[in-house]
Amino acid sequence: MKINVLVAEIGSTTTVINAFNGVNEPCPTFIGQGQAPTTVLEGDVNIGLKAAIEDFKKSLNIDSLEYDDLMATSSAAGGLRMTVHGLVYDMTVRAAKEAALGAGANLHMITAGKLRRTDLLKIEDIKPNIILIAGGVDYGERDTAIHNAELISKLDFNIPVIYAGNVENGEEIREIFKETKAKLYITENVYPKIDELNIEPTRKIIQRVFEEHIIHGPGMAKIREMVRGPIIPTPGAVMLAAQLLKEEIGDILVLDVGGATTDVHSVTDGSEEVNRILISPEPVSKRTVEGDLGVYVNLGNIVERIGLDNLANRLSINIEELSLLVKNHKPIPDSNIEKRFVEELTLEAVIAAVKRHAGKYRHMYGPSGKKTIAEGKDLTNIRHIVGTGGALTRLPNSIDVMKKIALSNKGNELLPNKEAQILVDSNYIMASLGVLSKEYPEAAIKLLKQSLNI
């Protein structure tokens, strides 16, 4: 059998293969899916990749398979580990953080101001894949970024370093890293002026660096033997798909509830009304990741948030039965009560993650009386809420779960309203279509709309 494009999603535990035909034609099609355990620990992810392809062949009952392109997204081997170092936390640091998260990074350390010896020890322990240095608006403060670059250069890591700070420092930064093992990338300032974010150039550089360097890490070194197309971090691929959808159907919120984390992606300019009273800028495309909200690895955190008595009441069972559910919890629920249990965990994860992602109205009181301001990301203009990931694409009542986002608003939160349309990535291919969009954007949007039943 001949396939146009295979896209591999190489996760920490599972590798999934999605197959697509007709990517250069008016009506592209999703052919099917195969999966197998990821084999990072064996030192070669290609083993798991080949096993996933064999599983796909078995699902179609075919003996041979040819394909034109093989692309990939990856969150294996810990994903894209980054540290970010800027000047003022609410300004350059936050801008650099937004760029890194939007590119699909896992942020292990964020610092504001000049680095200290203890900070360097932490960086050494983290062993990041990429270090991002920012600091100072263009033609503003210079010393902090130079100080931090000098200290980081002395670590002499053989890893990429990205500089996205004050444009005046470019030559100085090049000089600092000239004799080091680090590969230096210099891009536009993430915070060129007060209250102006410029995160897209840095986001693109991070994804490029990921493809050039990170895939050569332990367990990933042989991936280029099979994958001929783009390789990007899985959360970054979801963001690409969300941005593509925004251009097609309007402002969008994407929820990905997983076993370990819950990711929230929003692509929206917000409303004019809120923008007039917003006290600091927010990126159009924003990602947050909640490392304590997972429905398998971190289910204990969510059970604690809900409370045992409350959760037992919701499920109409006693505490002993609930304790058994928690103790015997499986990655994929089988029985109705197990599915109801995971739905309650998913609901809690969704509401908590979206509220952390979204901003709020605040009332301030002064000599002239009460004044209302807004801070954080404005989601009030969201037109579509999309569920992807295992929980929201496989649970029977996921649409009802997402409808409760608007109903949870206490009145001061910048959440989507009840008119937002709920969509489900029924084929669970959003991340794959994000990487597909790098080469075949028209096919990607058509396949996305098919999966979302638009």
Which pTM value belongs to this model?
0.89
Q: Which stretch of 142-151, 157-166, 202-211 has the lowest confidence by average pLDDT? A: 202-211
Q: Are residues 212 and 223 in the same domain?
A: no
Residue 330, in any domain of the structure: no
pLDDT at res. 370: 84
Kindly state the average pLDDT of the residues 292-319.
Answer: 91
Given pLDDT bands bounded at 50, 70 and 90, which one contains residue 331? confident
Residue 418, in any domain of the structure: yes
Kindly state the average pLDDT of the residues 364-381.
Answer: 89
Residue 430, in any domain of the structure: yes
Give the contacts of 314 (CB within 8 A, at least 6 positions apart): 306, 344
Instruction: Dump pLDDT digits (tens) for 109-159.
Output: 999 999 999 999 999 999 998 999 999 999 999 999 999 999 999 998 999
**Angle, helix 234-249 to helix 94-102, in steps of 10 degrees:** 90
87: pLDDT strictly greater than 90: yes
216: pLDDT strictly greater than 80: no
Q: What is the DSSP letter of 341?
A: H
Given pLDDT bands bounded at 50, 70 and 90, which one contains residue 78? low
Instruction: Dump pLDDT digits (tens) for 221-272.
Output: 677 778 887 888 888 999 999 999 999 999 999 999 988 889 999 999 999 9
Q: Are residues 274 and 378 in the same domain?
A: yes
Q: Are residues 88 and 44 in the same domain?
A: no
Q: Which range marks the domain in which residue 266 is found?
A: 232-293+353-451
Please report, rounded to a whole number, the percentage of residues in the chain having pLDDT higher than 90.
69
Rg (CA), the chain: 23
- Which among 185, 203, 229 is the end of a domain? 229
Residue 346, in any domain of the structure: no
Given pLDDT bands bounded at 50, 70 and 90, which one contains residue 217? low
Q: Are residues 107 and 222 in the same domain?
A: no
Give the contacts of 400 (CB within 8 A, at least 6 positions apart): none
305: pLDDT strictly greater than 80: yes
Q: What's 115's domain CATH number?
A: 3.40.50.360
Q: Are residues 442 and 372 in the same domain?
A: yes
Residue 249, in any domain of the structure: yes
Cα gap 247→252, rounded to integer Å: 10
Residue 145, in any domain of the structure: yes
pLDDT at res. 42: 67
pLDDT at res. 75: 79
Q: Are residues 274 and 396 in the same domain?
A: yes
C-alpha 356, offset from chain centre = 15
* CA dihedral angle for residue 35, residue 37, residue 40, residue 45, rounded to 10 degrees: -30
Q: Are residues 97 and 204 in the same domain?
A: yes
Kindly state the average pLDDT of the residues 206-219.
Answer: 73
Residues 396 and 336 sit within 8 Å (Cβ to Cβ): no
Q: Are residues 364 and 403 in the same domain?
A: yes
pLDDT at res. 209: 87
Q: Are residues 222 and 256 in the same domain?
A: no
Our count of domains for the chain comes to 3
Q: Are residues 363 and 240 in the same domain?
A: yes
Q: Are residues 166 and 86 in the same domain?
A: yes
Residue 105, in any domain of the structure: yes
